[in-house]
Structure formats: C-alpha cells, structure tokens
Chains A and B, each alone.
Chain A
C-alpha cells in the first residue's frame, strides 16, 4: 500500500536482472566445473603422458611392478562391452517402447512402464552381484559352451567365440550392461513415441498401412533424432559403469578378440587399483586413464550431436 505504483516495474526489472544473473551463473558453473575437471585430470595424468607419450594409448602393457603402463586394454574393453550393450539394448528398448505405446492393451501399459522405471532404480552393485552369482554361472554352464562349440569353428566370426567357458568376460559384461541401460533408452523412447501426432498414424492407417509400415515409415522417421539421443544417453552410462562391470568382466589386462575372454574397462581398472597405487607414476597413469574415459565419452557425445545435425539438414532438404 505504501509502495508507489511506479516503483513496481523498477524493482521488477532489478529482480529480472538478478534472476538472469543467477541462471547464467548456474549455466556457467557447469562449464567451469567441466573445464576444471578435465584440467585437473590432465594435470594429474601429466606424469604418465610425459613418460609414455603416445605409447600410453597404444600399449597393451600394464605392469605395476616394472612401472610400464598402457591404456589399450582398458579402452578396448570399455568400447567393446559398451558396444555389445547397445547391440542388445537398442532393439529390446525400441520393442518395449513400441509395444507400450501402440500394441499393449491400455491396462497393461501402467504396470510394465513402472516395472521398467524400477529397473533403472536398482543400484549397479546389485546388477554386479546378480551377474556374478546368477548370470555368470548360467553363461558358463549353458550359453558359452554352445557358442564355442557351434560358432567357434566358423570362419571370421569364430574368433569371437573361442576360449574356456568360465562365464566371466566381455560377453557377460556386455549383456549385464545392456540390461542396465534398457530402462534409460526405453523410457525416453516410449515418451517420444507417445508424442507422435495421432493424425499421422491415423492417416497411415487410412491408407491401409500395416503395423510394421506405420512403425518404419511414420513413427521411427518422426522420432529419429530423439531416439538417437536416447541411445547415446544409454551409451554414456554404459561407458562409465563401474561396479557391475568389475564383477563380471574379469579385470584382466589381456587383449583378446574372443568375447568369452576376460578383459578390463577404464572405470573398473580405476576402482580396482586406485587404493593401492603406491608410486607416482602408477597413480598418474590411473588419472590419465580417467582423462581418456572423459575424452572417449566426449567424442561419443560429439558424434551424436553431429549425427543429429546431419539428420536435421537432410530433413530440412526433403521437407
């Protein structure tokens, strides 16, 4: 009451200005954090980079006693297990999302949707223990003997399926990771499929399209960029996953083409070895590994962005 009416816009402008500063500060904070994390890892890993140079990235040796470190095995293990995870998770997740949006009866959608969201809430250590105590013995007893017997002798792909069936290795780790990222991809996919305008689908039905034709010619093209975003979200999580992978990957610094053999991942190597890394060079090598994981993740996300931009341009031309 005592405030003159003219003061209101002035104080409003001030509040607006303050609000702008706060939001801008929050946005800059993220960039500053990201930059300083990268810088501090580069600083921590400088001894490893100085000592080994490019050899650090291409060497497969990891010998703490002799003080020789190379990141090839962890990088390879990280990339292969994450790729396997995508191979499994992408078709299953898109299948789940399509079933939930287009095919399932309405009463089923709620319970299945909630079940999938609950999968995302399970801590990764639980996946790791399940993988070690339940899934790895199952793989060793039933899946891996069959794979090495039937696929092992084949030319070219046979090399992927040789070795003793011990249930611990890249294949098992990839499948466990795949199960872990299914909820992330499928929830996003379900939401974007739900956002497809019903008129488009109705028009397709009116033209006599089958369910498969609606999916492949209407739903997927319409949601392509969002689906690719969802896949890369899952991939980002798979690349950085630590505990579950540590349990089932075997943590061995061996480079092997066979998916049945144990390997190592960047995150697992750091978690395993950081506490007892007792020389400067050892610790520095682990920090350098962390920087490499950061770079791999950054490259993957950049690739995703570029892909989305290309799709945007292509669509811009055709429409």
Chain B
C-alpha cells in the first residue's frame, strides 16, 4: 500500500512540475489560445520530450504535459483515452493496434549497452558476442577467464573472478530490448527466460532504473550490467563492444545506432511494428531501440489530437538537434518521410 501511495505521490509531483514549467514557457498573449496536450508512458523518452515541450511551448504557446509513468502505463492510459498520446519502448502488434483503434510511429532512437566493471578493462576494450552475453546472463559462463570470453578477447587479461550479473529490477523497455536481442541470438535464452519488460532472471542482482544498474555496476567489482547509452556517456562507464549480425564488433555510438536504423526494414513494417535489435547493416549496433508514440486513429477530441500531431511533426523536423544534445539519436531522413506519410494517412 505504501508503494502505491508513493507512486501516486510521484505522479502528482510530476504533473505539478510539468504544469508549472510549461505554463511559464508560454507567452501571455498566446496562452489564451494555447492547446494543452497530455501524454504518458516511457521513462526512456522523458528527458527529450521534456526538452522538446519546453522549446515548443516557447515557440507556439502549446503546452505538452508528459508523465513518465513507464511504457506499460502509457499503453493502458492511451487505450483508456485519458491522454492524447502514449509512449512505449515496446511496439504494439498491428492486430492489437487495430483492435484498440491506435496508430503507432517511432520518434527517437537509443541503444542499450552492456557495461562492465573489471579491473584493467578500459571502455570499449572488451568484446562480446550475443551468445556469450546470453550465456553470462543465463549463469552458464560464470568466470571472467572462461574460454568463451577469452577466445574473442585475445591480448586482454581477464581475472579469475566470478562474474556479478546486474539486471533491472523494475519492468522496463530497456530490459525488453535487451532480452529481445538475447532471444534472437540464443535459442536457449529464447526457450528459457524469454523476452519481456521483466523476465525471470536466472542469476544476478536487480537495480532499480538505469541509475540503479549503473550504480550497482560501479559499486560491484567484476560486474556486468546493461544501461541506456546516455548513462554510459554521463557516467563514463566501461562499455563492451558487441558483435553484430554481419559479424563485426561495433561500439555504441550515434553512427552505429543510425546504421542500425537505416538497415532495418521499416518499409515493410506494418504500423512500424519493428524491433531493431540484431539489425543486418555492416556497422549496425545490435541492441538499438526506438520509442514509439501511440495515438488514436479517430480521436474523440480532434483539436487536441491535431495539436499533438503538429508537436510531433515539429519534433521530428526541428527537435532533432535538441535530441542529439541529450545523447539521443535522430531518426534517418527517409524514415521521417515515411512517418509523415503514415501520420497523414492514418490519423484522422
């Protein structure tokens, strides 16, 4: 019960915070005509959405109130019709979208990055393949000097120490993308824990949120975890290179995320139902992820829906520089074109 109260309190605080900020941003003469757009969902996209809504309010006076309550919450809120848009890190299937009358499109790209804390290993010096990563998280590879890791890391001295595995304790889109990737590269993982926002982890400790996992990995020697790319940069963590589907070892970067987005087959993905993990491009980073926006195809309040759409049109065009500043990766230009066509065709 205490937890529910906490959650309710946090939501109330968030709402209050967003309200005041966007109100201050609006110029007095525009405020009267301003639309109030509400959204809820993914925590991953919250920093960039907050920055976008502040900029957008300054330019147009339209206030966007976004509550980062988690992807699952975003999906149920938009289905219930309490918000103008929802945001989720896990795309919905076209059948589910059709059933609830929703449209879906991506807005921003990020990546999930394995990070390690092994004495003597600098950022980017450790190489991992998908199957080895899956075996570490399954508890099959237990020591850092296991031959499975040694053969792909010739010249790197790895200690004879137990691997301390760190995962997310809360349900999250980050975990979804990570386990989705592991399921693609390891049949054993797919048959065992599987993919989802929270799975039955065979080993390890759970940290709450990206900051919790980052904190654990920094505190625990010989540990491995996975966090969003922005946390790697902000905390200067030792990331590992990952082998992609083309067989190359790539580091996480804006370029390798964009390479993944460009090589993914968006053209044939109905309702953009596509998880970009294990993308085929030669330089594609294998655990690249997108946040999707959900909106009603036939909104009850057309004015508010139109206001939300012009906000996202603006964000996809003018907001990408702001996204880059916050360590997100802009969508490739032809994908933006495809999204604009989709919005025009499917949302009335």
CB-CB < 8 A to B223: which residues of A? 166
Interface size on B, residues (CB 8 A): 41
Say whether B193 faces chain A, with CB atoms less than 8 Å apart: yes
Say whether A132 faces chain B, with CB atoms less than 8 Å apart: yes
Could you say which of B1-9, B46-54, B329-337 contacts chain A? B1-9
Query: What 0/1 pattern do residues 260 to 277 of A give for CB contact below 8 A with B?
Result: 001010011011111111
CB-CB < 8 A to A66: which residues of B? 194, 200
A236 to B60, CA, bound (A): 53
A136-B219, A275-B171, A276-B70 given as contacts; is B198 within 8 A of A242 (CB)? no
Query: What 0/1 pattern do residues 225 to 250 of A give for CB contact below 8 A with B?
Result: 00000000000000010110011001
Contact yes or no, A273 B198, CB < 8 A: yes
Contact yes or no, A277 B72, CB < 8 A: yes
Count, A-B residue pairs, CB within 8 A: 120
Residue from B3, B162, B207, B219 in contact with A133 in the complex, judged by beta carbons closer than 8 Å: B219
Contact yes or no, A166 B164, CB < 8 A: yes
B71 vs chain A, min Cβ distance (A): 7
Residue from B73, B201, B219, B221 in contact with A276 in the complex, judged by beta carbons closer than 8 Å: B73
Contact yes or no, A65 B200, CB < 8 A: yes
B159 vs chain A, min Cβ distance (A): 13
Closest chain B residue to A270 by CB distance? B3
A294 to B4, CA, bound (A): 14
A246 to B6, CA, bound (A): 13
Closest chain B residue to A164 by CB distance? B162
Closest chain B residue to A40 by CB distance? B1
CB-CB < 8 A to A251: which residues of B? 169, 205-208
CB-CB < 8 A to B196: which residues of A? 64-65
Say whether B94 faces chain A, with CB atoms less than 8 Å apart: no
Q: Which B residues between 170 and 201 are near A, CB-CB below 8 angstroms? A: 170-172, 193-201
Say whether A61 faces chain B, with CB atoms less than 8 Å apart: yes
Say whether A300 faces chain B, with CB atoms less than 8 Å apart: no
Say whether A308 faces chain B, with CB atoms less than 8 Å apart: no
A252 to B207, CA, bound (A): 9
Contact yes or no, B219 A63, CB < 8 A: no
Say whether A39 faces chain B, with CB atoms less than 8 Å apart: no
Say whether A178 faces chain B, with CB atoms less than 8 Å apart: no
Q: Which A residues between 122 and 146 are near B, CB-CB below 8 angstroms? A: 132-133, 136-137, 140
A132 to B76, CA, bound (A): 33
Say whether A176 faces chain B, with CB atoms less than 8 Å apart: no
CB-CB < 8 A to A264: which residues of B? 206
Query: What 0/1 pattern do residues 104 to 117 of B give for CB contact below 8 A with A?
Result: 00000000000000
A66-B194, A137-B219 given as contacts; is B69 within 8 A of A275 (CB)? yes
Say whether A290 faces chain B, with CB atoms less than 8 Å apart: yes
Contact yes or no, B215 A273, CB < 8 A: no
Contact yes or no, B219 A140, CB < 8 A: yes
Say whether A50 faces chain B, with CB atoms less than 8 Å apart: no
Contact yes or no, A167 B219, CB < 8 A: yes
Closest chain A residue to B176 by CB distance? A276
Contact yes or no, B215 A133, CB < 8 A: yes
A259 to B141, CA, bound (A): 24
Beyond the given pairs A246-B208, A273-B169, A277-B72, 15 more chain A to chain B contacts, judged by CB atoms under 8 angstroms and listed by A's residue number, are A63-B193, A64-B200, A133-B215, A164-B164, A167-B219, A247-B212, A252-B204, A252-B205, A264-B206, A273-B171, A273-B198, A275-B70, A275-B72, A276-B171, A278-B76
Contacts A/B (CB < 8 Å), 14 sampled: A65-B194, A133-B215, A140-B219, A166-B220, A242-B3, A252-B206, A262-B204, A262-B206, A272-B208, A273-B169, A276-B198, A278-B72, A278-B76, A278-B171
